[in-house]
A and B are shown apart, each in its own frame.
Chain A
Amino acid sequence: MKRLHRCFAAALAASTVLLAPLAPARAQDSFYAEAAKPYKGTTIRVLDEITPLQETLSKIIPEFEKETGIKVEWELLNHFEVINKGQADMLSGRGYYDAIMLHGFQLGPMISAGAIMPLNDLVANPKLSNPNLGTSDFIQNPFKTAAFVGDKQYSFINWNYNQIYWTRADLLGNADEKAAFKAKYGYDLAPAETMEQMRDIAQFFTRKKGEKLAGKPLESDFYGIVLEGIKGGSTFPTLWNNFVKNYGGNLIDAEGRPTFDTPETVAALKMWRELWTYAPPGIAEYSLVDVPTVMGNGIAAQSIAWSDFVLGVDKKGVSPYAGQFVYGPIPIKAGSKERFAEAEPSVTVISAASKNPEPTFIFLQWLADRKQQDKLIALGEGGVPIRESSWALPAITGAANKTLYTAMKSTLDVAEAKPKMPKFYEIYDVMSGIAQEVGLGKLSPEEGAKKGQAELLKLCTKCLL
């Protein structure tokens, strides 16, 4: 009896070994189940942000619990809360959450505070580290810049938030508008590829109530563009990566010395200011949530917005203009060779105060695993890829709003996590104030560049980690 039992077990083991190469998917499954064995019954708490992407992911999480026996308390909060609460939890050393989603820009302050657990030991541990994770399939630029500092790894990659250019096909394709545009500007009306075109289109479509738009009289004012302009949020990153960098300027140089006071920055700020004059009066109140809503309500012709929010708005039943939107890469300065675009590669890190780093690490790998990523995109009928292989998935190749994915890809190709600046929040806060003041015309572009540089120097002369 006993011998028979042992025989059976041996056969079973042999068959697993033999079958393994034939069924890679099953082998991967069993990796997580196997690695998680010592941690069965553990509960880990994970804090993430609520966007359409995470709403879809929520449906997949229970499969991890089934597969590994590790319980996941999965909490979603909105953008501002997740930053506020997540950081408070890590920095106070409370350690309620084992893993917390951080935007790329949060990494500088959090790493310098020692609040994030480096993953090197866990990655080196063969019992915990999945050899088939396929990190080379991650879209490399965002992954490399977000997950590593020097020789330390702090995360994999979880969300490739990125900005895209967004406009209305029904307006840009209207014959009368096209003719009028050509007559006025001397070139064909089409989605903007350069900042200058974006400005022309913004100017062209800014109209008062009663004027005609695509042949119909307007019941209320219509605006050429809508941008994020709220204090905080991503107003400053938008200005920095899409405008300042595309004009050849930057916030800091490679050594971390402030370099905001350049003619390039001034030129970018001029464009920024000009675009604000074609935007709705409430622009300085618009957050990253409001911008897509305004586009969805159809009161503006163009926008630069976060693509994941587009997924929630360009849907039948959400916006009456769904299906009439068209997207493009972030416009660059006319004649410029290099392309920059705002993206916020974001990662889920293990809190230094976590009492369950091992099961949390298993969970993080499981999340980034190709199987889950494929499922995420299939279930969400699209999404924002973190893996190169995802671009070939049917949900993306066959998507109704195909231009959205070309736009996304162009941004992600150049996407980088923010430089790791310990004083990012202070910088961010003062610079977003300046972005508002320049946009509203309170400061001239020259004054804005000068004030920005002065404020930066007050905060740090070497701003990098």
Chain B
Amino acid sequence: MAEASDRPEGSKGWFWTGITIVYALIVLFPIYWMATMMVKPNDAMFARPTQWLFTPTLEHFSYVLDQGFHWYLLTSFALCSVSTALVVIIGTPAAYAFARFEMRGKDDLFLFILGSRMAPPVCLVIPFYLIFAKVGLLDTFTGLTLAYMTFNLSFYIWVLRSFCRDLPVELEEAAALEGWSRLQIFRRVVFPLLRNGIVATAVLCFIFAWNEFLFAFMLGGKAMQTLPVSIPKLITAQGVRWGEMAVVGMTALLPVLAVVFVLQRHIVRGLTLGAVKG
């Protein structure tokens, strides 16, 4: 990371670092607090005055396992993996094509893609439910995979296209002059250079699917329960199980944590739809 300005402020660096750290601590405190609830006994959960120290317990973990929440984790994982893989397979060529070639009505097609990414999910869930009910796709793996395409495929094409445009076109031209076929150029020249972009964008797609609630709630069911949708199950007749909710919530956070450390700056690029190169 090169400094954008070489204004003489290096000496004050620690002051600004301090401010940033304090800000980060404030922002992250609620997450820390929820993390402690995973091992907090019920009587200390909302004790007044707030109980900072307590004997940790594993009862929330064992309840969550007893109730079979690991299956929801598995469902989430399978669903997100498959839908992301599908996005990569059909989206990569499209992103490449949009970046490299001229097509009639390209701008309009591209705006259509952006529109699919931007449409509020609430508007989509109505027709999805009614159509899926008719064709028997409710509560199926296929159904949810399709539903996730609306936001993830368009997102993927849009962002990966900006990665494609970073690639120097000269390499492809040189390869074309060598007489390589289109497929060879794509496989041996484009793909290796694009790999990081593909991984970064795909991982973001995975996270969007992982976090998704409304589609999974309305279009899923007994067979297709993802982790976010399983959380309301912890509102039981004996009250809300907060410790267990913390366990499930933190489990849902884990892949996100891993991703933010691995992807770092690519996240900016993803979340700004490629507007910032990161």
- Which one of A162-170, A199-207, A289-297 contacts B? A289-297
A82–B234 alpha-carbon span in the complex (Å): 15
A432 to chain B, nearest CB (A): 19
A282–B129 alpha-carbon span in the complex (Å): 35
Query: B237 to A93, Cβ gap below 8 A?
Result: no
Question: B99-135, CB under 8 A of A: which get 1 and which 0?
Answer: 0000000000000000000000000000001100110
Q: Is B18 an interface residue (CB 8 A)?
A: no
Query: A313 to B236, Cβ gap below 8 A?
Result: no
A89–B233 alpha-carbon span in the complex (Å): 19
Cβ contact of B240, chosen from A88, A93, A293, cutoff 8 A: A293
Q: Is B88 an interface residue (CB 8 A)?
A: no
Q: Is B198 an interface residue (CB 8 A)?
A: no
A300 to chain B, nearest CB (A): 14
Cβ contact of A92, chosen from B49, B133, B232, B239, cutoff 8 A: B133
Q: Is B218 an interface residue (CB 8 A)?
A: yes
Query: B221 to A85, Cβ gap below 8 A?
Result: yes
Chain A residue contacts of B232, Cβ below 8 A: 78, 80-81
> How many chain B residues have a CB neighbour from A under 8 Å?
19
Q: Is B139 an interface residue (CB 8 A)?
A: yes
Query: B138 to A312, Cβ gap below 8 A?
Result: no
Question: B44-56, CB under 8 A of A: which get 1 and which 0?
Answer: 0000110000000
B69 to chain A, nearest CB (A): 15
Chain A residue contacts of B11, Cβ below 8 A: none
A353 to chain B, nearest CB (A): 10
Q: Is A96 an interface residue (CB 8 A)?
A: yes
Known: A78-B232, A81-B232, A94-B138. A318 touches B130 (CB 8 A): no
A89–B236 alpha-carbon span in the complex (Å): 23
Chain B residue contacts of A313, Cβ below 8 A: 238-239
Q: Is B12 an interface residue (CB 8 A)?
A: no
Main secondary structure on chain B at its contact with chain A?
Answer: mixed
Chain B residue contacts of A75, Cβ below 8 A: 222
Q: Chain A CB within 10 Å — which of B218, B235, B238, B240 has the most?
A: B238
Cβ contact of B130, chosen from A80, A92, A96, A308, cutoff 8 A: A92
Scan residues 65-101 of chain A and give those whose CB is less than 8 A from a CB of chain B. Answer: 75, 78, 80-81, 85, 88-89, 92-94, 96
B118 to chain A, nearest CB (A): 26
A308 to chain B, nearest CB (A): 8
A135–B225 alpha-carbon span in the complex (Å): 39
Query: A292 to B133, Cβ gap below 8 A?
Result: no
A359 to chain B, nearest CB (A): 20
Q: Is A51 an interface residue (CB 8 A)?
A: yes
B34 to chain A, nearest CB (A): 19
Chain B residue contacts of A51, Cβ below 8 A: 237
Chain A residue contacts of B236, Cβ below 8 A: 50, 78, 289
A77 to chain B, nearest CB (A): 8
A164 to chain B, nearest CB (A): 16
A289–B242 alpha-carbon span in the complex (Å): 13
Known: A75-B222, A88-B129, A94-B133. A318 touches B138 (CB 8 A): no
Known: A92-B133, A96-B138, A219-B48. A312 touches B218 (CB 8 A): no
Question: B133-149, CB under 8 A of A: which get 1 and which 0?
Answer: 11000110000000000
Scan residues 33-68 of chain B and give those whose CB is less than 8 A from a CB of chain A. Answer: 48-49
A295 to chain B, nearest CB (A): 10
Query: B133 to A50, Cβ gap below 8 A?
Result: no
A78-B236, A92-B134, A289-B239 known, 8 other contacts, Cβ within 8 Å:
A78-B235, A80-B232, A96-B139, A289-B237, A290-B239, A296-B239, A312-B237, A313-B239
Task: List 9 A-B pairs, minimum CB-CB distance, nearest first.
Answer: A293-B239, A92-B133, A94-B133, A220-B48, A312-B237, A312-B238, A51-B237, A52-B237, A78-B235
Contact sample, A vs B, 24 pairs, CB 8 Å cutoff: A51-B237, A52-B237, A78-B233, A78-B235, A78-B236, A80-B232, A85-B221, A88-B218, A92-B130, A92-B134, A93-B133, A93-B134, A94-B133, A94-B138, A96-B221, A219-B48, A220-B48, A289-B237, A289-B240, A292-B239, A296-B239, A308-B237, A309-B237, A313-B238
Chain A residues packing against B (C-beta within 8 Å): 50-52, 55, 75, 78, 80-81, 85, 88-89, 92-94, 96, 219-220, 289-290, 292-293, 296, 308-309, 312-313, 318
